[in-house]
Amino acid sequence: MVFFLPSHMDQGVIFGLLALWHGFNTLILYIRTPRRFRYRTWFPVQLPWTSKYLELWIILFIVVLFIYTQMSHALPDISSGIIQADHIQRFQHVTFAIFFLIYAIVGLVSEQFSILPLPPGVLQSTFALGFLLELLVFHFGHHPGDTLESFVHMLMQIILLGLVSFMFLEILWPQSFLISIARCMLLGFKGTWFFNIGILINVPSSTPLGCAYGANDFPVCPTGEPLMRAKSIQVLIFGCQMLGIVIGTYLAYALLNQFLFKGPYLPILENVEDSVIKPDNELDAVEEDKALPIIRVIPRSLSRLNVQMIALECVEPKVLEACVLKQKTYLSAEG
């Protein structure tokens, strides 16, 4: 128990909440400006009564508390110079937690001061390296043998491998919404699977049929049919969680698109004053989507009110030709 919840369930809640926060903001960014979407490693909190760096401060607090809790159990090892076998995993946990600590500190310093300007992708790489080291710890330093405990942690390694892969892919393709939302979904999957492991450890009624709690507080199943049945149940839970995350993401996208941002996307309503004027092609009407023609270039001679009125009239495909003619007539009058 680290964050006032049973073991593993606390981490599941933390990663789940972080994934919800990232997924919610990623969907909003895409719905608002799909053609100018770009991933973010962290998201500012837009509330007047709190710091916009609240996410980084919360991560910093949680990681410091986690490291302190892990090391408090291993202080006798540090004083004696010998690491006990049952404390090795605690030191392993601290090593990848330090990457998350660096991520939060560097993010706060680089955003609030000019002494640490970071190239694009550096902060994301630091965050990803923490998950990569966690993957290596789970693979080489945890739960050997053919047991239920090793099996559920092997499934966690699959999630971590996907998460790390998509985090590095975000750096290579920063404007890909698909990669960004997949990374958020895998982060949430990590949280739900951690919570499932916590249920196995802390809820006796969840013990698979034919298994019993062992010395390490994890269900131990005899080889043969009980072990195979327990593994099959975990694969079923794994699939159900994956299915639930996919369906939940679709529903969240539909609800946000319907209730928060009604109507079509009108990119010309944002930053009209910064539009680039092409002298040979002052007004360029394009049809990237037959159902939603948009205007790529808007001259500065148009007032913001007129731009909004013209944009609203250009929504329906049936009035595209009339819309373009009206725009040219207006430009001639303005000139």
Q: Where do the structural domains in the chain lie, given as residue ranges?
A: 9-260, 267-334
Closest CA to 272 of 291, 289, 296: 296
Tracing tokens 């250009």 back to the chain, one arrives at 314
Q: What is the rounded average pLDDT for all residues in the chain?
A: 79
Confidence of residue 273 (pLDDT cuts 50, 70, 90): very low
Cα 180 to Cα 182: distance, rounded to the nearest angstrom? 5
Long-range contacts of 96-99, Cβ-Cβ distance < 8 Å, separation of 24 or more: 96/130, 96/131, 96/133, 96/134, 96/137, 97/63, 97/66, 97/67, 97/70, 97/130, 98/67, 99/126, 99/127, 99/129, 99/130, 99/133
Tracing tokens 């009980």 back to the chain, one arrives at 226
Confidence of residue 73 (pLDDT cuts 50, 70, 90): confident
Position with higher pLDDT, 259 vs 81: 259
Contacts with 40 (C-beta within 8 Å, 6 or more apart), sequence order: 25, 26, 29
Q: Give the pLDDT mean for 234-263.
A: 90
Long-range contacts of 77-81, Cβ-Cβ distance < 8 Å, separation of 24 or more: none
Confidence of residue 172 (pLDDT cuts 50, 70, 90): very high
Whole-number CA gyration radius for the chain: 26
Beta strands in 143-283 (DSSP E): 212-213, 219-220
| pLDDT(268) > 90 | no
Model confidence pLDDT, tens digit, residues 46-70: 887 788 899 999 999 999 999 998 8
| pLDDT(165) > 90 | yes
